[in-house]
């Protein structure tokens, strides 16, 4: 008998334990969606752009819209609002977003962003006339505001809208399928026209809560007004570093004649509406790789420039933050004017001779190079400086003739864009604002952009035919870009020395490797070779390319440091008999920088032979002068004022759960309240009648003063 009871006990207890064993209620209620990127807030001096949700997140019933008709259904008929709209990228247009939002039935949006998802034929969230306000032609009645033609006709300005609701992109196929099939179709999809489903419905909570608000002026002020013990930032200025390398390395102690530097420039960054989705294949990676490959070709013959006193210097410059109203180039101009470029002179130290605007003799900028117009590239000029001065126009004509001729010898077709048309958006505009000199911009379009995905999340390697699955397969884009780099290298060499050397050639393997590393797989051999041990782990974490977004000034930009290393490798010299620990610049002689690279794997082993590279490559600030000038007039429109909102650790999340009907919620609340009131009444009654159960003693001693106060 006793044994039976024991067995019964054990069974009962084990059932009880298995029933209560710890799954948290939140885990049973919510399904987290992790593969997302949020649209977040940014500010300039007058506006806020981007998305924001309530601090606790915005909840909506998931509705997957597949056609315009579904959108109309939501706007006109649907009655289970608020809805969180799930859609493909083709329906994600400014018109649809606005009409959905204006219906008042929307709490947020999710846009599917998988590699296989069909994408729109054209999409650019940038303006039709990018960065016009901060360019050379702002306020010019002949050339300003793209009066001669929009550069980016597909630009829909979606980036620059202020959305009062959260928008996410979904990047994980399993999760997208879950949302469509297990959430929307199972619970929410109307069974027939006009017959919405019964509760419970599948809902999503979209949390995208930004800290900053209003504009840069407000949030910069709030950053400086911290009274709390745990200071928090509200926004951070966009910015990073420019990469610059004067080939000749003339020390500050020597003479540096005016008009003796040819600037060869490219831009480093792009943007899109969503965090970490900045592929920028054509927007600027083609330009970076093109210029790096040209630097590599010139690096092989650089002694002939460096040791030739009559030769001009070549300054390679990669500007950061250009997509946000020319942050990098405007800072370089500001530093040049203040004699602080490339670095501020420190007394008692020898450094590179400061370079000023009057040192510049020519300016060659490469822009988008990937979407060539029937195989052709176009050379653009500035009509204002061209028509202002005979010397400049002659030099521009001469420069274009030289480049076009050299292009002809390597089978690269270069055309000259209409010289009455203004320059496309380019860094050189910021220089020409201050001083006129011969300047050209080489790019892949004659009039409007051939790139249909300018500054967008669709500017992917596949659209410029630079996608390859392995490191060593030479892509079509690499072959074409090599021709451009060769032309560029020979032209720069000719402009500097006056010699036309047909032995200068860019290396197609290197071009291909750079494209592969920047666009497809960041943990490729090339990047592993040039990096040092400290940064290796971040490189090997995943193959996903580093984002080409300028970022905020207080974080490291991996693309900048890798580009700096590549440029050092290509234009610098390997130092013999130097170890990693003494790969440093001498104390008082700062003309050269020293960079340690861990080197290639030795065949058949895991050893690497590292090397110390001495080069003139240096980083200069790419923070808008607006944030460094005391009492800067924020509304002057002189410098970029972009900042990015901060957000807390837990401010961005997406999770799915079931919601009951409103009646159900009210019923639950009421029954809860009823139970509360009943239990209060019962307690009161029991307390009142407690003397029946418990014998009470009357305590006659009065309480002391101490206990009563």
Give me the residues that bind other proteins (CB under 8 A), please: 52, 55, 209-214, 218, 221-222, 225, 227-228, 232, 234, 708-709
Query: Of the candidates 49, 23, 476, which has an alpha carbon nearest to the alpha carbon of residue 273?
Result: 49
- Cβ 225 to other proteins shortest distance, Å: 6
Q: Are the C-beta atoms of residues 281 and 274 closer than 8 Å to each other? A: no
Residues 677, 465: Cα–Cα separation, whole Å: 71
Q: CB under 8 Å to 262, separation ≥6 — which residues?
A: 312, 313, 314, 315, 360, 361, 362, 363, 364, 492, 495, 496
**Least Å distance between CB 709 and other proteins?**
6
CB of 158 to other proteins, least distance (A): 21
Name the one residue in this structure whose structure tokens are 């992790």: 34
Collapsing DSSP states into helix, strand and coil, what is residue 332? helix
Q: How far apart are CA 601 and CA 500, in angstroms?
A: 37
**Smallest distance, other proteins to C-beta of residue 707, A:** 11
Q: How far is the CB of 231 from other proteins (least distance, A)?
A: 11
Q: Residue 590 and residue 217: Cα distance in Å, rounded?
A: 37
Question: H-helix or E-strand containing 65?
Answer: strand 58-65
Structure tokens at 135: 């360019």
Could you tell me the smallest distance in angstroms from the CB atom of residue 649 to other proteins? 13
Q: Is 697 exposed, middle or buried (0-12, 13-18, 19+ CB in 10 A)?
A: exposed
Residue 461 DSSP class: G
> 66 or 232, CB closer to other proteins?
232
**221 or 635: whose CB is closer to other proteins?**
221
Nearer to other proteins, 172 or 213 (CB): 213
Per DSSP, the three-state class of 390 is helix
The dihedral sign for the CA sequence 247, 250, 252, 257: negative
| Torsion sign across C-alpha atoms 515, 519, 520, 525 | positive
Half-sphere exposure of 213 (CA within 13 A, CB side): 7
Closest separation in Å from C-beta 97 to other proteins: 20
141 vs 230, beta carbon nearer other proteins: 230
Closer of 595 and 645 to other proteins (Cβ): 645
Alpha-carbon span 361 to 263, nearest angstrom: 8
Least distance (Å) between residue 20 CB and other proteins: 38
CA–CA gap between residue 194 and residue 77 (Å, rounded): 8
d(CA 369, CA 441): 11
Q: Rounded to the nearest whole angstrom, what is the least distance from the CB of residue 235 to other proteins in the complex?
A: 11
Q: Is 594 helix (H, G, I), strand (E, B) or coil?
A: strand
Q: Would you say 55 or 680 has its CB closer to other proteins?
A: 55
Q: Which is nearer to other proteins, 307 or 700 (CB)?
A: 700
Nearer to other proteins, 140 or 233 (CB): 233
- Would you give the DSSP letter of residue 472? T
Question: In whole angstroms, how close is the CB of 652 to other proteins at the nearest point?
Answer: 13
CB 440 within 8 A of CB 381: yes
DSSP β-ladder status, 83-87 and 593-597: unpaired
The residue (of 56 and 606) whose beta carbon lies closer to other proteins is 56
496 phi and psi angles, rounded to 5 deg = -80, -50
Nearer to other proteins, 89 or 108 (CB): 108
In angstroms, what is the minimal distance from the CB of 31 to other proteins?
26
Considering the complex, state which of residue 225 and residue 587 has its C-beta at the smaller distance from other proteins.
225
* C-beta neighbour count of 463 within 10 angstroms: 19
Q: How far is the CB of 215 from other proteins (least distance, A)?
A: 9
Residue indicated by tokens 């419970």:
200
Q: Which is nearer to other proteins, 348 or 702 (CB)?
A: 702
What is the number of residues in the chain?
709
Structure tokens at 654: 């997406």
Nearer to other proteins, 537 or 704 (CB): 704
Residue 210 CB, nearest approach to other proteins (Å): 5
């Amino acid at each position: 008998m006793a044994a039976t009871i024991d067995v019964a006990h054990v069974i009962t207890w084990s059932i009880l334990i298995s029933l209560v064993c710890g799954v948290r209620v939140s885990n049973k209620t919510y399904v987290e969606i992790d593969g997302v990127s949020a649209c977040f807030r940014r500010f300039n001096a007058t506006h806020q752009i981007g998305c924001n949700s309530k601090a606790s997140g915005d909840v909506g019933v998931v509705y997957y819209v597949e056609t315009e008709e579904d959108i109309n259904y939501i706007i006109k008929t649907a009655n289970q609002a608020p809805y969180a709209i799930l859609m493909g990228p083709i329906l994600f247009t400014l018109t649809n977003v606005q009409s959905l939002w204006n219906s008042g039935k929307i709490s947020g949006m999710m846009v599917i962003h998988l590699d296989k998802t069909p994408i729109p034929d054209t999409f650019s969230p940038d303006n039709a006339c990018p960065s016009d306000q901060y360019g050379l032609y702002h306020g010019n009645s002949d050339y300003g505001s793209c009066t001669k033609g929009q550069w980016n006709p597909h630009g829909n300005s979606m980036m620059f809208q202020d959305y009062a609701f959260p928008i996410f992109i979904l990047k994980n196929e399993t999760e997208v399928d879950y949302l469509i099939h297990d959430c929307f179709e199972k619970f929410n999809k109307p069974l027939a026209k006009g017959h919405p489903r019964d509760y419970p419905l599948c809902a999503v909570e979209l949390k995208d809560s930004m800290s900053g608000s209003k504009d840069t002026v407000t949030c910069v002020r709030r950053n400086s007004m911290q009274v709390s013990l745990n200071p928090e930032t509200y926004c951070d200025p966009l910015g990073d570093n420019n990469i610059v390398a004067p080939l000749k390395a003339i020390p500050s102690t020597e003479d540096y004649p005016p008009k003796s530097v040819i600037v060869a420039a490219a831009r480093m960054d792009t943007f899109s509406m969503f965090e970490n989705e900045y592929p920028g294949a054509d927007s600027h990676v083609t330009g970076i790789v093109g210029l790096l490959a040209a630097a590599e070709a010139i690096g092989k013959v650089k002694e002939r420039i460096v040791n030739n006193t009559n030769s001009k210097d070549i300054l390679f410059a990669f500007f950061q933050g250009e997509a946000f109203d020319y942050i990098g180039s405007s800072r370089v101009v500001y530093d040049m004017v203040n004699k602080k470029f490339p670095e501020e002179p420190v007394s008692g130290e020898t450094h590179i001779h400061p370079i000023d605007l009057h040192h510049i003799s020519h300016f060659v900028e490469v822009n988008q190079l990937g979407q060539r117009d029937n195989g052709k590239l176009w050379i653009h000029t500035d009509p204002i400086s061209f028509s202002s001065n005979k010397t400049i126009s002659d030099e521009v004509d001469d420069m274009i003739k030289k480049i076009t001729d050299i292009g002809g010898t390597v089978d690269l077709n270069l055309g000259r864009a209409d010289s009455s048309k203004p320059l496309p958006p380019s860094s050189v505009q910021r220089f020409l604002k201050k001083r006129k000199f011969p300047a050209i911009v080489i790019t892949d379009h004659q009039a409007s952009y051939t790139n249909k995905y300018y500054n967008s999340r669709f500017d992917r390697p596949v659209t410029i035919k630079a996608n390859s699955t392995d490191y060593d397969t030479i892509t079509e884009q690499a072959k074409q870009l090599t021709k451009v780099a060769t032309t560029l290298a020979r032209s720069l060499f000719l402009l500097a020395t006056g010699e036309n050397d047909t032995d200068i050639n860019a290396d197609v393997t290197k071009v291909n490797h750079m494209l592969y590393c920047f666009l497809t797989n960041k943990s490729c051999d090339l990047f592993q070779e040039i990096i040092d041990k400290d940064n290796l782990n971040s490189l090997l974490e995943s193959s996903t390319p580093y984002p080409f977004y300028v970022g905020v000034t207080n974080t490291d930009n991996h693309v900048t440091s890798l580009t700096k290393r590549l440029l050092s490798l290509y234009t610098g010299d390997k130092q013999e008999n130097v170890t990693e620990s003494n790969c440093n610049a001498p104390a008082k002689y700062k003309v050269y920088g020293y960079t340690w690279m861990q080197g290639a794997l030795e065949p058949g082993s895991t050893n690497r032979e590292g090397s110390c590279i001495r080069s003139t490559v240096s980083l200069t600030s790419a923070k808008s002068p607006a944030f460094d000038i005391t009492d800067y007039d924020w509304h002057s429109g002189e410098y970029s004022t972009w900042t990015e909102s901060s957000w807390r650790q837990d401010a961005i999340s997406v999770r799915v759960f079931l919601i009951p009907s409103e009646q159900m919620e009210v019923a639950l609340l009421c029954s809860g309240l009823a139970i509360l009131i009943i239990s209060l009444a019962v307690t009161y009654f029991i307390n009142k009648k407690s003397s029946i159960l418990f014998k009470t003693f009357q305590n006659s001693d009065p309480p002391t003063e101490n206990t009563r106060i």
